[in-house]
Amino acid sequence: MKKTVLIFKPLGSGKTPKTFLTLIFAAFIFLSPLYGADAQRIPINVNLIIDGSASLSAVKDEITSWVLSRLDEILADGDNVTVWSAGPLARVIYSGSINSAADRDAIKNSIRQLSGSGETADFSGALREASSRQSSSFSYTLLISASGASLSSVLSGPQANLLRYSRVEEFSTWRALVVGLNIDTRVSRAAAAFFGQ
């Protein structure tokens, strides 16, 4: 961990207490992220939905590398993780709680062994099941689409509303969507509070 050293010099006659308070405030701002990073967070549901259509084959190595590094960033002990292969029919390829390095390795191996087949990706089925499985109030859902065509079926179907609150990260031939599942009521409440209704 990078250490930050602050050196305080005695205040001269031209310095005011206001300057001293500004220095203390600045130290607090710059040091708090260092100590906040070690804080424990509550366990969350992590849903990973990966395109299991034939489109995956061309970009599998790139997607696998990106997803594995992303999981290293977000997973914490106690998280409940479910991984779907969204092929012609969505199917769960891993489900469990993270309690050890072996659990993390099992998730990564399930992703590495994923292969694509068929022309369609059943994102709708995976999203519908993921939204019904929430066991905690917080969830993180990451959907990986290997092509625009595989994503178009869910966008034109009845489950399109599940993608309403999403953030899209575009790559050369594939997309990663962070999907806000089951947050409609929270968004409505926050909007009403913001507008004072």
**pLDDT tens profile 124-166:** 889 989 888 765 568 899 999 998 777 777 777 777 777 777 8
The pLDDT, as a whole number, for residue 180 is: 84
The pLDDT, as a whole number, for residue 192 is: 58
Using DSSP's 3-state secondary structure scheme, residue 155 falls into helix
Of 56-70, 121-135, 138-152, 179-193, least confident by mean pLDDT is: 179-193
Of 17-31, 147-161, 175-189, least confident by mean pLDDT is: 17-31
Q: Where are the beta strands (DSSP E) in the chain?
A: 45-51, 80-86, 90-97, 139-145, 166-170, 175-179
Q: Has residue 108 got a pLDDT over 90?
A: yes
Can you name the residues that pair with 37 across neighbouring β-strands? Answer: none
The pLDDT, as a whole number, for residue 168 is: 87
Q: CA 18 from chain center: how many Å?
A: 41
Q: Has residue 79 got a pLDDT over 80?
A: yes
Mean pLDDT computed over 7-30 = 48
CATH fold label, 45-185: Rossmann fold (3.40.50)
φ, ψ (nearest 5 deg) of residue 70: -65, -40
Mean pLDDT computed over 98-110 = 96
